[in-house]
A and B are shown apart, each in its own frame.
Chain A
């Protein structure tokens, strides 16, 4: 499927290869042998396949060539980047009592973050957590680098990121708000790496927001997050994705769930970021697991928003429910690709998936591809996909009550998004998302 003829080979590719070779020759890293071996394996993989072209099935609708053409800098200065407080504040959910965690260009910044005086919660820069048992046990264990080009290059070259461990039976009373801020003066390629481990019967809410500082330079961010949800644990996980046109995001999230755990992902993206590719893979690897994936993408301008999800039912008696809704403005392009696997052992699975799109721009495009692969025989599964426009009857009804065109549209868009926004259990987050929808519609 991949071969050297179709890969995108460019200066960034060469630079990544050179970076790795320099890194392994210097030998000054004190990394454990297991990690070095993993990096080497990932590097060989990346060296062979490079960045994916549209000949690769998973990248069929997302042509990366225009987003990789600049001369990117890969190495990061180790100096701390100065950050304006107002930018961080702006990314926070207003009025929400939470612990604040700030990550700038992939580096955890204790100086800008709250101290978390909560027993059983361990938050470190990933680079400082390499020796921890949870890191050794889980890091790199769940992401398939042979199929994920960007995860491979991230694994080979990541420098830092966030490590969060929530110990068994720990219930985090307040949400953790993680603000990922990107600021660069030169075209930069960043590869943050995160690991979240939620222990047995632990519970937490993590809200991750993404913002970029307005600069002339382009930033290409290749995030990889691995998340382990332990037995009987619950994780409520939010992604609020904003950014400017200079930002390009590849965001790979690999979730591994053990028996009786619950993982809910609420993802909302807004106009700005020129490329947004989300891979969200969830493995339900225990009985009685529940997973809910809710997505809302409001896309505008010439934005390309690509959501790929995989829900992998490996064991019996699990439930998954996925609902992604897209509002496509202007000349935006959207991709939805949702795969559900129900493996042979996963009897009594309930798996549902739905993708609905509301097209506002005459030149907006959506490619929606739901996929079900079922190998068990006693399951309930469904999937569906719709693409539509404003309901003219509803528009006229609103107008006949004195509501003008702009307000009527806004009401109907909020109504369309409501199926997703109503699922958000925290009212402050719901209000924040609605506010971002409002702003996104005006942009």
Chain B
């Protein structure tokens, strides 16, 4: 589904990603962990096409298409979704209107007719229930005055509505209380299928108790320095990142995943 090969990217001429490799197949959940400044959020930004990020080398294929050639909106229409670490507040744009616009733009790209009002309402209700997302929140302006937890939940609510093929969760767990974490995780678990995939970027192992990944990767200094299964996350929780940093400095690392 997603194939990243030797990806290098810079922000303001500072190289952040320094040759990153990653393969994601349908049905898989990949967790990416790593210390601050290792390039986790940069990876999310590059994959979704945020401005100011310059790709200097490598390639990213999404279902065989050159992802880096596509505009941010076309990437979304192809089926990529980013749950933002810091969702933006947009006063005056209603959540509902925003979702309907997004859904119809995606449908138009896929040559489907606009969604029927009745069907849209049904979908809305179903997903609201799934995420225990309050109707009053859904009817408000996009993220305006939402608490941190409400914003994160809204991200997953949007994910549920738009049903992407590949969802990237950028530190969705940070700042969530345990109840919200449970709701968000349950939502993700219900949404996962053999057809879609998730990349979960996180600092903490805690989220991975709820959403069990197939693979855990450690991103350090712009490269994936270690890959493993969920046990790796536990090890990181226990030992921190320092042992990996030392490893990384000792050896010139070969990309360790596949």
The answer to whether B101 touches A403, judged by C-beta atoms less than 8 angstroms apart, is yes
Chain B proximity of A172: nearest CB distance (Å): 31
At the interface, yes or no: B113 with Cβ under 8 Å from chain A?
Answer: no
Q: Which residues from A are CB-within-8-Å of B106?
A: 402
The answer to whether A411 touches B76, judged by C-beta atoms less than 8 angstroms apart, is no
The answer to whether B91 touches A418, judged by C-beta atoms less than 8 angstroms apart, is yes
At the interface, yes or no: A400 with Cβ under 8 Å from chain B?
Answer: yes
In the complex, chain A residues 373-413 whose Cβ is within 8 Å of any chain B Cβ: 391-394, 396-405, 407-408, 411-412
In the complex, chain B residues 69-86 whose Cβ is within 8 Å of any chain A Cβ: 71-73, 75-77, 81-82, 84
The answer to whether B51 touches A396, judged by C-beta atoms less than 8 angstroms apart, is yes
Tell me the complex Cα distance, A404–B73, Å: 6
A contact face: mostly helix, strand, loop, or mixed: helix
Q: Say which residue of A393, A402, A405, A415 sits within 8 Å of B93 (CB atoms).
A: A415
For chain B, give the interface size range. Answer: 20 to 34
At the interface, yes or no: B20 with Cβ under 8 Å from chain A?
Answer: no
At the interface, yes or no: A135 with Cβ under 8 Å from chain B?
Answer: no
The answer to whether A402 touches B105, judged by C-beta atoms less than 8 angstroms apart, is yes
The answer to whether A402 touches B51, judged by C-beta atoms less than 8 angstroms apart, is no
Tell me the complex Cα distance, A414–B93, Å: 8
> Which residue from chain A places its CB closest to the CB of B45 in the assembled complex?
A396
- The answer to whether residues A414 and B77 also contact, given A392-B51, A404-B105 and a CB cut-off of 8 A, is no
The answer to whether B51 touches A401, judged by C-beta atoms less than 8 angstroms apart, is no
At the interface, yes or no: A21 with Cβ under 8 Å from chain B?
Answer: no
Q: Say which residue of A401, A417, A418, A419 sits within 8 Å of B102 (CB atoms).
A: A401
- The answer to whether residues A396 and B72 also contact, given A401-B102, A402-B162 and a CB cut-off of 8 A, is yes
The answer to whether A411 touches B98, judged by C-beta atoms less than 8 angstroms apart, is yes
> Which residue from chain B places its CB closest to the CB of A405 in the assembled complex?
B73
Q: Which residues from B are CB-within-8-Å of A122?
A: none
Give a binary string over B136-147; 1 marks a CB under 8 Å from any A CB, 0 the rest: 000001000000
At the interface, yes or no: A416 with Cβ under 8 Å from chain B?
Answer: yes
At the interface, yes or no: B50 with Cβ under 8 Å from chain A?
Answer: yes
For chain A, give the interface size range. Answer: 20 to 34
In the complex, chain B residues 89-112 whose Cβ is within 8 Å of any chain A Cβ: 90-93, 97-98, 101-103, 105-106, 109
> Which residue from chain B places its CB closest to the CB of A418 in the assembled complex?
B92
Q: Say which residue of A396, A405, A407, A417 sits within 8 Å of B101 (CB atoms).
A: A407
Q: Which residues from B are CB-within-8-Å of A400?
A: 48-49, 72-73, 75-76, 81-82, 84
The 9 A-B pairs of least Cβ separation, nearest first, read A415-B92, A418-B92, A402-B76, A401-B102, A399-B72, A402-B106, A397-B88, A399-B73, A415-B93
List chain A positions with a Cβ less than 8 A from chain B.
391-394, 396-405, 407-408, 411-412, 414-419, 422
List chain B positions with a Cβ less than 8 A from chain A.
48-51, 71-73, 75-77, 81-82, 84, 87-88, 90-93, 97-98, 101-103, 105-106, 109, 141, 158, 162
A selection of 16 A-B contacts at a CB cut-off of 8 Å is A394-B88, A394-B90, A396-B50, A399-B49, A399-B72, A400-B73, A400-B75, A402-B77, A402-B102, A402-B105, A403-B101, A404-B73, A415-B91, A415-B141, A417-B92, A422-B92
